[in-house]
C-alpha cells in the first residue's frame, strides 16, 4: 500500500472518496488501525484514515450529549466526560491487549489509541451493555461520507429522534463498508458514585448462569453479570460476578439483598469498589480469557441460557471461554484452525445465536466466514443497501464478507 491518506477535514475525506470512486480504486478505511486485524483482511489500493479528524466539538453535560470528530481518541472523550462525573455507558472495550502486537507492528511500535469513530463503526460494547444498551444505542447522531463522496447526516444531538430512516444504527457496526464516519454525537450518562461486586462460587457454568439470571431478574439494577470459568483470586472454580453501581447507600443496600438472594447458588462474598473497578475492566477487555498469541479469539452471542453450551463447545476444541452479559456473550480463545472455527460456528448456529471471528491469523480470516451468512433474501437486500451507499464498491471491500 502507498502512503495512507489522512485528510485534515471532512471535505478532504469526501474528496479522497470521490477520487477513489472515480478511479474505481478501493480504499481500506480505518481510524488509528487498532482493530485492523478484526474480521477479514481488505484488499485495497490505498488506506484512508480518519486519524487527523480530531477534537470534541460539543459537550453539554446537562443535556447528556457529546460530539466529537471520528479520529478523536476514545480515551480523550472518556477523560472529558469523567471530569464532569459522566461516562460512556456501554463501556467499550480496549482491544489493545487482544490486537496489541499486530496494531503496534503497523504503527512502528507506538501504542495506537482507539478512535471514537472506530468504536462506533465496530459497535463494540462492554459488560454494561446487558442493562444500558450497546454503543449503537448511545449513538444519537452521525456524519459520514458515503461511497459517492457525499456528506450525509442522520440523527442529531437530541436524545429522542425518529425523523427518517435511522442511518446511525445502520452505520454503527458496518465496519467502514457503508460510509466513512467523520463525526459522532453520543449520549452520555452520569457515572455512579460507587460500585461493588457480589461473587458467587458456583458448582458449574449452568448454575452460574442461573445465578446471573436471578441477579438480572431482581429489582436491584445489576449493571454487570459475568461468569469466569477458571475462577478468580482464591476462588478456583467457576465464579459468577454481579456488579451494582449507584449512590453509596444504594450499593450497600442492593449488594446486601443480592447476597441473600444468591446464597442458594453457592458461597457468596463481596468485592469493594477498589478491586471491583479493575476486575470489570479486565472482564470488559476479555483479559481473564488469557488468550495466547497464537490462539484465535471468537465472540459468540446467544441467549444467556445457551451460554454454558457454547463454553462446552469451546472446551471440546481445546479452548477456553469467558462469559459476560448474563451468560449470553461468550468470548472463546482456541486453536486458530478451520476445524476449530467450524466447531464454534456450528455451536453458535445450534444455539440460534451469532458469532464473530474476532482475532485470527490472516489466512484463516481470509478463508472462512468471519460472521454468520445471511439467508438469500436478506443477502440480496444487503447487496442493494451496500450499492445504495457505496455504488462503486470502494469502501473496505471484503471486510465483512468475501466479495462484499
Partner 1 sequence: MIALPPPKADILARRAEIVDALRAICPGEATISEPISLKPYETDGLTAYRQMPLAVVLPSTTEQVAQVMRYCHLNGIRVVPRGAGTSLSGGALPLEDAVVIGLMRLNRILEIDFDDRLAVVEAGVTNLGITRAVEHEGFFYAPDPSSQLACMIGGNVNMNSGGAHCLKYGVTANNLLGLRLVTPEGDIVEVGGAHLDAAGYDWLGLMTGSEGQLGIITEVTVRILRGPEGARAMLAAFKGTEIAGAAVDAIIGSGIIPVALEFMDKPCIHACEAFAHAGYPLDAEAMLIIEVEGSVAEQDELLARIKEICARFDPISMRVASTAEESMAIWKGRKGAFGAVGRISPDYLCMDGTIPTGELPRVLKRMGEMSDEYGLKVANVFHAGDGNLHPLIMFDANDPESFRKAEAFGADILKLCVEVGGCLTGEHGVGVEKRDLMTVQFKAHELDQQRRIKSAFDPGWLLNPHKVFPLADAAPAA
Site for partner 1 in 185-244 (CB under 8 A): 189-191, 193, 210, 213, 216-219, 221
Q: How far is the CB of 92 from partner 1 (least distance, A)?
A: 13
Residue 249 found at the interface with partner 1 (CB under 8 A): yes
Interacting positions 373-392 with partner 1 (CB under 8 A): 374-375, 377-378, 381-382, 384-385, 387-389
Q: Which is nearer to partner 1, 45 or 151 (CB)?
A: 151
Phi, psi of 35 (to 5 degrees): -115, 25
Give, as ranges, the residues between 53 and 72 that touch partner 1 (CB under 8 A). 60-65
Using DSSP's 3-state secondary structure scheme, residue 59 falls into strand
Which residues are paired to 356 by β-bridges? Answer: 299
Q: Does 134 bind partner 1 (CB under 8 A)?
A: yes
CB nearer to partner 1: pick between 217 and 278: 217
Provide the minimum distance between the beta carbon of 157 and partner 1 in the complex, in angstroms, as a whole number: 6
Burial class (CB in 10 A: 0-12, 13-18, 19+), 288: buried
**Shortest Å, Cβ 308 to partner 1:** 12
Cell 459522566, located at residue? 86
| 281 half-sphere exposure, CB direction, 13 A CA radius | 9
Question: Which is closer to partner 1, CB of 130 or CB of 314?
Answer: 130
Q: How many Å apart are CA 229 and CA 11, to the nearest integer?
A: 50
Q: Residue 253 interacts with partner 1 (CB under 8 A)?
A: yes
Question: Could you say which of 100, 133, 231, 361 contacts partner 1 (CB under 8 A)?
Answer: 133
Q: Rounded to an integer, what distance in angstroms lies between the CA atom of residue 32 and that of residue 51? A: 6
Q: Rounded distance, CA 110 to CA 262, Å?
A: 45
Q: Please tell me the distance from the alpha carbon of residue 372 to that of residue 349, in angstroms, as a whole number.
A: 8
Can residue 85 be called a binding residue for partner 1 (CB under 8 A)?
yes
Residue 208 CB neighbours (<10 A): 30
**Interactions with partner 1, residue window 307-346 (CB under 8 A):** 325-326, 328-329
169 near partner 1, judged by CB under 8 A: yes
Minimum distance from residue 3 beta carbon to partner 1 (Å): 30
* Grid-cell match 451468560, residue found: 327
Of the candidates 43, 46, 42, 36, the one whose C-alpha atom is nearest the C-alpha of residue 6 is 46
108 or 377, CB closer to partner 1? Answer: 377
Of 11, 105, 159, 275, the one binding partner 1 by CB under 8 A: 159
User: Is residue 161 a contact residue for partner 1 (CB under 8 A)?
Assistant: yes
C-beta separation of 159 from 62 below 8 A: no
State whether the Cα torsion 271-273-277-278 is positive or negative: negative
**Residue 111 CB, nearest approach to partner 1 (Å):** 27
Amino acid at each position: 500500500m502507498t502512503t495512507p491518506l489522512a485528510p485534515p477535514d471532512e471535505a478532504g475525506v469526501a474528496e479522497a472518496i470521490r477520487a477513489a470512486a472515480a478511479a474505481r480504486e478501493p480504499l481500506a478505511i480505518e481510524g488509528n488501525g487498532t482493530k485492523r486485524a478484526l474480521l477479514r483482511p481488505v484488499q485495497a489500493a490505498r488506506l484512508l484514515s480518519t486519524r487527523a479528524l480530531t477534537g470534541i466539538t460539543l459537550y453539554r453535560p446537562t443535556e447528556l450529549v457529546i460530539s466529537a470528530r471520528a479520529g478523536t481518541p476514545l480515551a480523550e472523550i472518556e477523560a472529558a466526560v469523567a471530569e464532569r462525573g459522566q461516562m460512556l455507558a456501554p463501556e467499550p472495550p480496549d482491544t489493545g491487549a487482544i490486537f496489541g502486537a499486530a496494531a503496534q507492528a503497523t504503527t512502528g511500535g507506538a501504542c495506537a489509541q482507539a478512535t471514537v469513530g472506530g468504536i462506533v463503526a465496530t459497535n463494540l460494547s462492554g459488560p454494561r451493555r446487558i442493562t444500558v444498551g450497546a454503543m449503537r444505542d448511545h449513538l444519537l447522531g452521525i456524519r459520514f461520507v458515503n461511497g459517492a463522496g457525499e456528506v450525509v447526516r442522520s440523527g442529531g444531538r437530541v436524545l429522542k429522534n425518529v425523523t427518517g430512516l435511522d442511518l446511525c444504527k445502520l452505520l454503527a457496526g458496518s465496519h467502514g463498508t457503508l460510509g466513512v464516519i467523520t463525526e459522532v454525537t453520543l449520549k452520555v450518562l452520569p457515572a455512579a458514585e460507587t460500585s461493588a461486586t457480589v461473587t458467587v462460587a458456583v458448582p458449574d457454568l449452568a448454575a452460574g448462569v442461573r445465578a446471573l439470571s436471578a441477579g438480572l431478574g431482581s429489582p436491584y439494577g445489576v449493571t454487570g453479570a459475568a461468569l469466569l470459568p477458571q475462577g478468580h483470586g482464591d476462588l478456583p472454580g467457576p465464579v459468577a460476578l454481579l456488579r451494582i453501581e449507584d449512590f453509596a447507600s444504594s450499593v450497600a443496600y442492593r449488594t446486601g439483598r443480592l447476597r441473600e438472594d444468591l446464597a442458594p447458588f453457592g458461597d457468596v462474598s463481596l468485592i469493594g469498589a477498589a478491586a471491583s473497578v479493575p476486575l470489570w475492566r479486565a472482564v470488559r477487555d476479555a483479559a481473564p480469557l488469557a488468550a495466547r498469541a497464537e490462539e484465535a479469539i471468537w465472540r459468540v452471542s446467544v441467549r444467556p441460557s445457551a451460554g454454558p453450551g457454547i463454553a462446552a463447545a469451546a472446551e471440546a476444541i481445546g479452548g477456553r471461554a469467558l462469559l459476560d452479559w448474563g451468560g449470553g456473550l461468550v468470548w472463546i480463545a482456541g486453536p486458530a484452525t478451520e476445524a476449530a472455527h467450524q466447531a464454534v460456528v456450528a455451536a453458535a448456529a445450534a444455539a440460534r445465536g451469532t458469532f464473530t471471528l474476532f482475532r485470527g491469523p490472516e489466512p484463516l480470516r481470509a478463508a472462512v466466514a468471519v460472521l454468520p451468512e445471511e439467508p438469500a433474501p436478506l443477502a440480496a437486500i444487503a447487496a442493494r443497501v451496500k450499492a445504495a451507499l457505496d455504488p462503486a464498491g470502494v469502501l473496505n471491500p471484503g471486510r465483512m464478507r468475501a466479495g462484499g
